[in-house]
Amino acid sequence: MADKGLNDAPQGAGQGSGSGKQNFGHVPVLLKQAIDFLSIRRGGTYIDATLGLAGHSYEIAKHLGAQGHLIGFDKDTHALEIAKKRMSEPPPELKDDWPKITLLHSSFADIAEHVAENSADGLLADIGISSMQLQDASRGFSFQAEGPLDMRMDPHGERTADQVVNRMGEEDLANVIYEFGEERRSRRIARAIVRARPIRSTAHLSQVISAAARPMKTDKIHPATRTFQGIRIFVNRELDDLEALVHGKTAGPPMGGAALRVLKSGGRLVIISFHSLEDRIVKVALREGAHSRPKRWEILTKKPATADREEVDRNPRARSAKMRAAIKM
């Protein structure tokens, strides 16, 4: 599966992209549905766990009023700089009715370290990679551009794609590509990568993968898509962070992860994911919470909400988005 669209095209929307009207070049996916499921209460406290370029946050802030509070989180310092500027410029008609804005450089896995327990009325998370990150070749996310083997969402993160590609053992590398990239040709690709070392750029890595992963007739995506996805998810510990947000790993109360801890009773959780690994984690966590004793979640989406044809036509990057929502009991 690919993230937020196929073929490494600019894929919008993840981690809070801006709206076209805001001249950000892409639109936030499932924006109306997100606002509807959050059921925003004027004067409330709401969290955008994946701030990005503040597309979702800006819309949430419009509904909060001067007594409200919007708290945004992002690992990416580049995105935070842009989001801070955007959120400091309310629409003229709301200049005197704009909520308090707090933006933090942090993973959403650590939300409970920054937000008081049982204090938030809603939490939105738009998981995955953003267009801005893909389009900046210097970040090393794209296999369609020459760039360094980096792939860190947090530029200060310790683990890089170079370490994975050039230092990891062949078996471990194959496991990363298979587990996080869902790539059936993982062993063949890992063997080719090890033999081609040292690999110094994204373009070089893409060439090695493409030569090793001979395209199958059923392929509709670039042969490097899944391998790049797998390496990126591993580098950024993306699934671990998502588990920490919605599920929690520790035994004993409180269960349900950081989201359950910071939300008030009646608070709403809305999560947008873009591939099956993410959606499965969210689905399982909410289902377990809905059937636990005591019950932790009331699920609002029996099936995930998806973009309609009009949105997909307007923004093809929305085609793989799935939204799940729940209320904390």
> CB of 221 within 8 A of CB of 130?
no
- The pLDDT tens digits of the residues spanning 187-212 come to 999 999 999 999 999 999 999 999 99
- The pLDDT tens digits of the residues spanning 98-130 come to 999 999 999 999 999 999 999 999 999 999 888
Walk across the sheet containing 45-48 and list its strands: 100-105, 69-74, 45-48, 120-126, 263-273, 322-328, 297-299
Domain ranges of the chain: 20-131+238-328, 160-236
Q: Which two tokens stand for residue 122?
A: 């809603």
* Band of pLDDT at residue 255, cut at 50, 70 and 90: low
- The pLDDT tens digits of the residues spanning 144-185 come to 999 999 999 999 999 999 999 999 999 999 999 999 999 999
- The pLDDT tens digits of the residues spanning 46-77 come to 999 999 999 999 999 999 999 999 999 999 99
Same fold for the pair 20-131+238-328 and 160-236: no
Return the pLDDT at 152. Answer: 97
The larger pLDDT score, comparing residue 85 to residue 8, is at 85
> Superfamily for 160-236?
Putative methyltransferase TM0872, insert domain (1.10.150.170)
Return the pLDDT at 13. Answer: 33
DSSP-derived 3-state class of residue 265: strand
> CB of 1 within 8 A of CB of 279?
no
d(C-alpha 65, C-alpha 42), whole Å: 6
End-to-end CA distance of the chain: 33
pLDDT of 252 > 80? The answer is no
Computed over every residue of the chain, the mean pLDDT equals: 89
Among the listed residues 75, 43, 73, 70, the one whose alpha carbon sits nearest the alpha carbon of residue 59? 70
d(C-alpha 3, C-alpha 50), whole Å: 15
- Give, as one character, the DSSP assignment of residue 18: P
Residues 146, 150, 154, 155: is their CA dihedral positive or negative? negative
Q: How many CB atoms lie within 10 A of CB 322?
A: 22
pLDDT (average), residues 275-300: 96
The larger pLDDT score, comparing residue 57 to residue 218, is at 57
> CB of 186 within 8 A of CB of 177?
yes
The CATH label, of 1.10.472.10, 3.40.640.10, 3.20.20.70, 3.40.50.150, for the domain at 20-131+238-328 is 3.40.50.150
